[in-house]
């Protein structure tokens, strides 16, 4: 290849990057496809093509381009990461596991890649294989507290499990770090509950949550100010004239953590026309980018229609990476989307909104028992604060209930588990879909589940988690005191 040709390819490649940077994704993709024919050994071209395919929501092209780049540069970490993300999004479990094994082989002593594989095996329902790998890792790394917490999330301990003794020894280690205290005590609390040693559950939970609070302090006042300001900014907002919504259309499934949103999403996503997006977190992030973040959000009633159209367009682009061309609908169960239901209702005439309620006492217990990603849900470390957050959530939902007259449905978790058939049909109707029998057999569907509830949603609907708070009514007293005389439903 002549130097002139090389320079021409570089010039055209740079032009493709500029096109992509200005949102002209299809033009950039076509240019890169042409360049790939001219320079078949240049890994940068299919690598960039994969990233653009992701932004276009073209799963097949994303996977193909990422694999092509990886074949050209098999040991490049960034390209391997791109291929992993592409195939995980597409649900190609076998290929994902192959790529994970390749990453593990590149550094067999690293714990992270092997733990990631164990988690992925959990997420795709291969619990036995996951447990085997976790136990192997813990045998080699008995002082890795996070491994215990990750492992504990989806197994049921027995009283003679040797890992319980190992965790107790680690919890008493004088040099155990603050993150270590957090992880191992969450794991021990789960082990105590599994082995019916209820009196020992909350002592471990208090230690775990205290450590978590020290790592990520909460600011209740700032949170209240942010939430109230965002809701107030949507007062009087007008719908976009002739708005078309997004492609695919969005079905928002919103509720507090541990309220049953994963169950509801999986029922909907079992429908042939729906893809599960999970906690995409695109809606609020896009709103903050376009209109100002938190207390800085501008009054949307005075925003020009063009700004609202820009928001809808940007949201559609952000969601394409989660979409599938074969599905007309995409679920979004991002928890914080409830803050901007007014904006979403005004800009997305094809969207549906489903709120999931659950007994606040069960929500509080489950939130307090579970570890969340660092820095998220900081209120989860204190029972009284959890009560305030649940009440604020209910106040905001009541606000939207009063002003959103259509496409807005509320369901109760307890009703769903008590009468799965009738309530599942109601959920599908609320999503604007025709009933399909497989929606009642959601637990048999394949697909990755990225949630604390992943083990439960691989099973038929059951009622054992309802009223679980009664086993800990004494320990939950700080929650009851903060709740006051507010009604439970």
- Answer whether residue 326 shows pLDDT above 80: yes
Residues 6+ apart with CB under 8 A from 53: 29, 59, 61, 62, 64, 65
Query: Which residues are CB-contacts of 38 (< 8 A; sequence separation ≥ 6)?
Result: 5, 9
Residues 366, 254 share a domain: yes
The reply to whether 101 and 17 lie within a common domain is yes
Instruction: Specify the residue for token string 């978590």.
Output: 212
Residue 362 and residue 390: Cα distance in Å, rounded? 11
Q: Is 411 left (phi over 0), alpha (psi -120 to 50) or beta?
A: beta
Which pair of structure tokens corresponds to residue 156?
A: 């049921």
Q: How far apart are CA 37 and CA 34, in angstroms?
A: 5
The verdict on 89 and 234 lying in the same domain is: no
Q: What is the pLDDT of residue 447?
A: 52
pLDDT classification of 59: cutoffs 50, 70, 90 = confident
Q: Which domain does 104 fall in, by range?
A: 1-108
Mark whether 251 and 199 lie in a shared domain. no
CATH of residue 60: 1.25.40.10
Per-residue confidence at 458, pLDDT binned at 50, 70, 90? Answer: very low
Least confident range of 79-88, 178-187, 324-333, 364-373 = 324-333
Whether 289 is in a domain gets the answer yes
Residue 211's SS3 state is helix
Residues 405 and 446 in one domain: yes
Number of domains in the chain: 3
Q: Which of 51, 79, 108 is the last residue of a domain?
A: 108
Give this prediction's pTM. 0.89
Same domain, 5 and 29: yes
User: What are the tens digits of pLDDT across the range 188-225?
Assistant: 999 999 999 999 999 999 999 999 999 999 999 999 99
Query: Which of 155, 185, 215 is where one domain is finished?
Result: 215
Residues 299 and 263 in one domain: yes
Task: State which of 215, 243, 273 marks the end of a domain.
Answer: 215
Q: Stretch 436-444: mean pLDDT, rounded?
A: 84
Q: What is the CATH number of the domain that holds 335?
A: 3.40.50.300
Q: Are residues 324 and 178 in the same domain?
A: no
3-state secondary structure 347-415: HCCCCEEEEEECCHHHHHHHHHHCCCCCCCCHHHHCHHHHHHHHHHHHHHHHHHHHHCCCCEEEEEHHH
């Amino acid at each position: 290849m002549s130097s002139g040709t090389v320079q021409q390819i570089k010039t055209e490649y740079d032009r493709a990057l500029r096109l992509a940077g200005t949102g002209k994704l299809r033009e950039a993709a076509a240019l890169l496809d042409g360049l790939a024919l001219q320079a078949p050994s240049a890994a940068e071209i299919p690598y960039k093509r994969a990233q653009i395919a992701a932004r276009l929501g073209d799963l097949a092209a994303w996977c193909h381009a990422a694999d092509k780049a990886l074949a050209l540069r098999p040991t490049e970490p960034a390209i391997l990461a791109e291929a992993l993300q592409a195939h995980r999004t597409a649900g190609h479990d076998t290929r994902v596991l192959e790529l994970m094994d390749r990453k593990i082989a590149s550094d067999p002593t690293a714990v992270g890649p092997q733990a990631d594989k164990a988690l992925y095996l959990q997420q795709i329902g291969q619990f036995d294989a996951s447990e085997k790998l976790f136990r192997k890792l813990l045998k080699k790394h008995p002082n890795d507290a996070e491994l215990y917490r990750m492992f504990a999330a989806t197994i049921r301990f027995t009283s003679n499990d040797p890992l319980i003794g190992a965790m107790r020894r680690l919890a008493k280690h004088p040099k155990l770090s603050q993150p270590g205290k957090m992880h191992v005590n969450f794991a021990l609390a789960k082990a105590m509950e599994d082995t019916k040693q209820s009196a020992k559950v909350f002592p471990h939970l208090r230690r775990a949550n205290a450590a978590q609070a020290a790592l990520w302090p909460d600011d209740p006042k700032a949170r209240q100010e942010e939430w109230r300001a965002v809701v107030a900014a949507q007062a009087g907002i007008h719908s976009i004239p002739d708005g078309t919504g997004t492609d695919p259309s969005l079905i928002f499934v919103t509720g507090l953590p541990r309220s049953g949103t994963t169950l509801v999403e999986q029922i909907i996503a079992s429908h042939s026309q729906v893809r599960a997006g999970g906690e995409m977190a695109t809606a609020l992030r896009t709103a903050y980018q376009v209109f100002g973040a938190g207390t800085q959000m501008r009054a949307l009633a005075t925003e020009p229609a063009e700004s609202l159209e820009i928001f809808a367009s940007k949201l559609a682009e952000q969601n394409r990476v989660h979409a599938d061309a074969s599905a007309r609908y995409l679920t979004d169960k991002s928890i914080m989307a409830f803050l901007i239901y007014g904006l979403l209702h005004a800009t997305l005439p094809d969207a549906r909104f489903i709120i999931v309620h659950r007994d606040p006492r069960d929500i509080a217990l489950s939130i307090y028992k579970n570890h969340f990603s660092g820095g998220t849900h900081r209120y989860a470390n204190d029972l009284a604060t959890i009560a305030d957050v649940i009440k604020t959530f209910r106040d905001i939902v009541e606000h939207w209930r009063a002003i959103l007259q259509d496409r807005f449905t509320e369901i109760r978790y307890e009703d769903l588990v008590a009468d799965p058939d009738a309530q599942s049909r109601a959920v599908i109707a609320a999503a604007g879909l025709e009933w399909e029998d497989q929606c009642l057999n959601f637990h048999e569907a394949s697909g990755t589940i990225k949630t604390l509830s992943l083990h439960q949603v691989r099973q038929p609907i059951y009622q054992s988690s309802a009223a679980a708070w009664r086993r800990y009514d004494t320990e939950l007293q700080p929650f009851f005191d903060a709740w006051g005389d507010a009604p439970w439903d």
